[in-house]
Structure 1
Amino acid sequence: MSAQPIHPHEPDRVPRNADGIAAALDGERRMEFYRELLAAAPEQAEAVLHRWWCEAMLDTDPAGDRLTEAALNGTLPTTGVTEAIARRHRAGLPVE
């Protein structure tokens, strides 16, 4: 059994490349992404792309505003670390 996203998106809303990430980001954030990517050493570029892809996916999430509002209002459902670990154990998934 493997973990599945709550809201699957096939294909990804944001392509996993520099052009796709940049297209999903707005103005200043796009420039920040490019500055960070261009300043990264070759061995760091993949990590930069991964982090900014995650940011772009969050920025383009159709439920993003609702989730942000719930988090700010304190009404976002949460799960403690203990419960998350227990779920992974029950599912036979590794816990590191």
Structure 2
Amino acid sequence: MTAQPVHHHEPDRVPRNAEGIAAALSGERRMEFYRELLAAAPEEAGAVLRRWWCEAMLDTDPAGDHLTAAALDGTLPTTTVEDLIARRRQAGSAVE
């Protein structure tokens, strides 16, 4: 299994809250986000916010078109999940 490497980003580009996420999404995707968030049980809301925050970050990424093209071409650099977990542990980040 592989995952995309972690790249540092501007943390303020999309705030990690419902309002910030919704503002970064376009019309139909924003409505899908709100539907999913409102339908989520309280214990599921955090996972919904995390997932949609990632979506919003991708949507607002200045290099988004390049990343999409590289993914479609099969040239997007990847890393193993094991390496990613090791890097997160070394950095003191949460590993779920």
Q: TM-score, normalised by structure 1?
A: 0.74
Task: Name the Cα RMSD after superposition.
Answer: 2.7
Q: State the SS of the aligned residue for 2:79.
A: coil
- Greater relative contact order, per chain length (Cα 8 Å cut-off, separation 6+): 2
- Report the Cα distance in structure 2 between the residues aligned to 1:26 and 1:18, rounded to whole angstroms: 14
The 5 Å alignment of 1:7-46 reads 7-9=8-10, 11-46=11-46
Residues 76 and 48 from structure 1, CA distance in 2 versus in 1: closer, same or farther, beyond 3 angstroms?
Answer: same
Larger strand share, 1 or 2:
2
Residues 12 and 32 from structure 1, CA distance in 2 versus in 1: closer, same or farther, beyond 3 angstroms?
Answer: same
Residues 92 and 23 from structure 1, CA distance in 2 versus in 1: closer, same or farther, beyond 3 angstroms?
Answer: closer
Unaligned runs of 5+ in 1: none
- Find the partner of 1:88 among 74, 78, 86: 86
Residues 13 and 92 from structure 1, CA distance in 2 versus in 1: closer, same or farther, beyond 3 angstroms?
Answer: closer
Question: Can you list the C-alpha shifts for 1:22-77, whole angstroms capped at 9, x where unaligned?
Answer: 01011111000000111111121111111111110111111111011011112222
Which structure would you say has the larger Rg? Answer: 1
- Report the Cα distance in structure 1 between the residues aligned to 2:58 and 2:20, rounded to whole angstroms: 14
Unaligned runs of 5+ in 2: 1-5
Q: TM-score, normalised by structure 2?
A: 0.74
Q: State the SS of the aligned residue for 1:7.
A: coil
Counterpart AA for 1:28: E
- Report the Cα distance in structure 2 between the residues aligned to 1:92 and 1:40, rounded to whole angstroms: 30
Q: Which residue pairs with 1:69 in the alignment? A: 69
